[in-house]
Amino acid sequence: MRENLHRFFRAARGVGVHVSPAESIDAMRAVTQVGVSDRTILRDALLLTLAKSQDEKLALGDCFDLFFSQPEPRQNQPEADSEDASEDTDQSPSSSSASEAGEGQPSEGLGPLAQMLLSQDRNAIAAAIASASGAASLSEIRYSTQRGIFSSRILDAMGLQRLRDDLDELTATNPALAERLRSALDALREAVRDTVAQGLALYAREEAENLRNEILRNAPLARIERRHVAEMRALIRQIARRLRERYSKPRKRQRRGHLDVRRTLRRNAAWGGIPFLTAWKRKHRDRPKIVALCDVSGSVAQVSDFFLLLIHSLHEVVDDVHSFAFSSHLIEVSDILESKSPEKAMAEIMSKVGFGSSDYGSSLVDFEKEFMSTLTPQTTVIVLGDARSNNLDPRADILRRISERSKRLVWLNPEGRLAWGFGDSEMPRYATFCSVVRQCATAQQLERAVSDIVATYQ
């Protein structure tokens, strides 16, 4: 059972449940207490010790049901066998026992697999398949093209070669028994195929998800199909979680500081240098702030959706985040994003300022009039937009004043660099006042850009 639990933990990670070593130890201790005889209690114990959210609970429940549903070998005996069996019930006990004895004698020299199949012991066959699956390392399956390979490995581990020799011998000496064994072998092959299909569903899901995520990470955000929007949002949440895990620990370490060895030794001189009291060196760091200005006009609305979702998922790293959205005018959307789900938040934002014609000059005027006080020398201002102002006054002078009041100004443009400065693009003029200008057309580029911004606070 311990080996089965290890495989189950691996399958759980494949469906998106984060199982740490400590959590796996807790789960194994819980299983030791409740036992494995009652599957309902076992399921509840694993869900309680491993799932941290409702989504993980649902995913883990489905994974449990699939993992512990063992495929049973099918009985595909010819109809003649069933008719013979019904006729045997009309025979006398002596003739029935004689027949069984006559059929039992040839099986005495057969191999273990042949005897198991002829006995039709389903539990023994299921246990043998499970054991052979472990020996064949079924948990290593990753692609659907490997199903034939792993099916052959499992059958070989069960003793298929010896069974073939037994079939050849029985075909010459006892054709009827050979036919029964051949039918049982066909059923066994089906059961093994079911087991491999189950393993593919359990263990290959992570590989398939990683491949899909890699494709999405490099796909242009502005051209993501509607059917992939939910998957992209899930990917953005994964990116945000990864950034939180990467940068939250250094921040905790910085709040505590580094051990001051000299002061610690001086403080503990009375105890012979044993460090009962510790002293820490702390370096003062300014409280970081982020102000994000997002263009939600029709051309870049979808990119802004993902960008705002990522920014507001990083509150554990940067405590003070203010977000603004604009097309022809600008509004603050921080409260909307924090209080509502991403879908409802973006719907409300779009209903207020979205899908209009972009007017960067007018939006910068709105920001200067109402929100300029949010900028401090510790503020990083991030602008996400294509800098296309429909040939209206771009008001680059306001952007210059924003740059002067803040720590730095970062512009993330979803368009390719070759398009900057052509048509109504004001990117070259705006870039003069920016500390960093980067192309940000894919999720991978977005992750790198936000990671670099957050890394400056560590």
Give the tens place of pLDDT for each residue, 417-448.
888 989 899 999 999 999 999 998 888 888 88
Please give the average per-residue pLDDT across 368-396, as a whole number. 91
Query: Contact 342/233 with Cβ under 8 angstroms?
Result: yes
The pLDDT tens digits for 124-161 are 888 888 888 888 888 788 777 888 999 999 999 999 99
Token reading at 28: 């194994």
The angle that helices 175-203 and 147-158 make with each other, rounded to 10 degrees, is: 130
pLDDT at residue 225 greater than cutoff 60: yes
Instruction: Report the pLDDT value the prediction gives residue 240, as an integer from 0 to 100.
Output: 76
Nearest-angstrom CA–CA distance, 129 and 157 = 9
Token reading at 131: 């054991």
Rounded percentage of the chain residues whose pLDDT exceeds 70: 84
Query: Contact 260/281 with Cβ under 8 angstroms?
Result: yes
Please tell me which residue, 312 or 458, carries the higher pLDDT value. 312
Neighbours of 13 (CB within 10 A): 17
What pLDDT band is residue 410 in, cutting at 50, 70 and 90? very high
Whether the CA torsion 104, 107, 112, 115 is positive or negative: it is negative
Please tell me which residue, 426 or 458, carries the higher pLDDT value. 426
pLDDT at residue 1 greater than cutoff 80: no
The pLDDT tens digits for 254-295 are 555 678 888 888 888 888 778 778 888 766 555 668 899 999
Nearest-angstrom CA–CA distance, 329 and 327 = 6
The pLDDT tens digits for 196-207 are 887 887 777 666
Phi and psi torsions of 386, nearest 5°? -90, 0
Domain residue spans in the chain?
2-67, 286-455
CATH code of the domain occupying 286-455 = 3.40.50.410
Cα distances (Å, whole numbers) of residue 406 to 323, 402, 435, 453: 15, 6, 10, 14
Phi and psi torsions of 342, nearest 5°? -55, -40
How far is residue 72 CA from its own chain's centroid? 31
Token reading at 183: 């039918």
Nearest-angstrom CA–CA distance, 247 and 443 = 19
